[in-house]
Structures are given as structure tokens and as C-alpha cells.
Structure 1
Amino acid sequence: MANKGWSPNPAVNENIRLAKALLRDPGLMSALDRHGSTGALDGLIDRTSLNAVINGTNYFQFKTDKELFGEMLEHYNQLKGRFGRDLTVSDLRKLAGQSLTGDSPKDHLIQLAQEMFKRTNALNLASSGNRITQAMLRYLSR
């Protein structure tokens, strides 16, 4: 649509403008392209994905997997359990199951964990068994 020439039909011209604007914002395109339950890029933009972006409250829905891995690396010590040496999938699951608290730093971690569970492919890539190491997150966030 973005490559079409201008039309005498104003509705078509609005669609062309919209398509060009979307192509200028790859982050928005990526968010619109994500599958609602898995978070994987699926090549489809439909009403469900539009509504998810419009009504979404999770800051991380617009982030790429690489950016999520970087966020996890940055907050690694806060994400892992108090006594564990490594972050585990179980730690993330517990955190993702919590309700938002109104405490911004805590909610940031909860939403990060929730987004990782929406993106099962990314979670599987980051974890080895039940463990998620800093070395793996460092590698995936490059």
C-alpha cells in the first residue's frame, strides 16, 4: 500500500499515508505484528493485534526479544530469587503470576516476567533446563 501512487479517492490516500507512517516506525510495526498469545512475529496485522496494542498496558509489548533479554540482564539480580545463584524459569513464573502493585520498579519486573511468558520461543531460547544465566542473556542481547 505504501508504494502505491496517490489516488483521486481520499480514503485510499489515507491508507497510503497510514502505510507509510507505519513503515517509518519499525517498533510499532513489530508490536502490531506480534501474535497475541505467543508474542512471536507472525506476519499478520489484524483487529486483535491492533486492539492489543491500543489497549495494552505492558510497556514491554513494543520491545524486541533482544531488548527483552537486555532488560532481563540489567535487572538480573532483582529477577532471581533471593537465595538462588542463577535466575530460574520458576523465579520468573512466580513473578509473572503476581498482580501489579502500584510500585513502579516492582511492576516493571512483573511486566517483564509476564512478557517473557507470552514469548515462549524467547523464553525457551534464554533458558537451559530451568536456568537462565547472565552469560546467555548477554549473548542474546548483543
Structure 2
Amino acid sequence: MGQQLLGNFNAFKDPNAPQYITTKSLKAMAGRPLTGNAASDQNIRLARELARRPELVKAMDRNSITGGLDGLIDRQKIGMIIQSDNPYKYLDDQQLAGEMLKKFDGLQDAHAPGHIKIERLKTLAGWPLTGNPAWDGLIHVAREVSKRSDLLRKMDNLASQDSDGWIRKQALRLLSH
């Protein structure tokens, strides 16, 4: 679907933001009646299918620096989603915090139980995949969290001193509910 959207990018562009497809322009396309024109109908059907997959739209909408949703989808964001093999790319922040909580034992600092050091998380995000599912799961979650600076900041500041460089288990519990 991402490849189709990228291939027909111009048909979905928002006239008020011509460099982007917006979530608003996708909804508008999905709300159109079928026309009998094969190309137009294909775009309408694609928009309707995307409306049934909000996690995919959110993944394409996610700001590549902050991880926030800005309603603007450009060609680069679509390309990044198509090329990414990270299984966590479709998760929202709440779900991602839940995944970190599930993997907490593998992420926590050996010298500070109950805490994840952000520096270690970023280091782990830079590791190549190993082929070991347990390690690769940790690497993938670290990569996705590290891409979302807004979420990482929340994790760092919730249930602890602001900007101390640590994520506490309690913060993940709060964010995942």
C-alpha cells in the first residue's frame, strides 16, 4: 500500500499543502464516491483501505525527528516506512512503552535495577541485527524509541528528575496505560 501511495502521490496531495499528503486529504479521498474511472477509483479504494489501517497512516505521518504526529506525509516518510524492517514502526507511543516494559529485563542497567540508561538504549539502537530473536527484539525496540525524541523525553522525565538520562520502570507503566 505504501508503494501504491508513493506511486500515486500527486493524486493524494493536499491543495493547501502541495508538498504533502495530509491525513485530511486522505480522508477526503476515501470519502469520494467511485467514479467509473479506473485510475481514480483505484486511488479512492487505496484511501479507503488506508482508513482501515490507521496504524499505517500514523507510521507514515510520524515526524522522523520527534516521532510526533503532524498530519503531513511526504515522499520521504513513505519511503522510510516501505524500507524499514522494524516491527515496532506501526506502534503508537503507548504501545511502544508497553513493548519496552515487556523487554525491560533485557534493557535495564545491570548496576541500577529498575532503570534503563538512555545512553545504553541509544548504543543498542546502533547495533547491527544479530539473528538472535531476543537480541534483535531489544535492538528493534531501542531503534524505534530512539527515533522518537518526544517519547524518549517523556520517558526520561516521567517518574524521575527531568533530563537525568534514565527511564524508570514506573514511567513505562504510566505511559503504557
* Pair 1:89 & 2:118 matched: yes
* Pair 1:121 & 2:121 matched: no
Q: Which residue of 2 aligns with 1:100?
A: 129
* Pair 1:12 & 2:40 matched: yes
Which has the higher relative contact order, 1 or 2, with Cα contacts under 8 A spaced 6 or more apart? 1
Q: Which residue of 2 aligns with 1:111?
A: 140
Would you identify which runs of 4 or more consecutive aligned residues in structure 1 move more than 6 Å? none
User: TM-score, length-normalised on structure 2?
Assistant: 0.75
Q: The residue matched to 1:132 in structure 2 has which SS? A: strand
Match 2:75 to one of 38, 42, 47 = 47
Contact 2:125 2:143 survives alignment (8 Å): yes
- Return 5+ residue gaps in structure 2 as ranges: 1-28, 158-163
Matches of 1:97 and 1:13, distance apart in 2: 43
Q: Which residue of 2 aligns with 1:140?
A: 175
- Return 5+ residue gaps in structure 1 as ranges: none
Matches of 1:37 and 1:139, distance apart in 2: 23
Contact 1:39 1:120 survives alignment (8 Å): yes
User: TM-score, length-normalised on structure 1?
Assistant: 0.93
**Residue identity matched to 1:74:** K
Q: Which residue of 2 aligns with 1:62?
A: 90
Equivalenced residues, count: 142
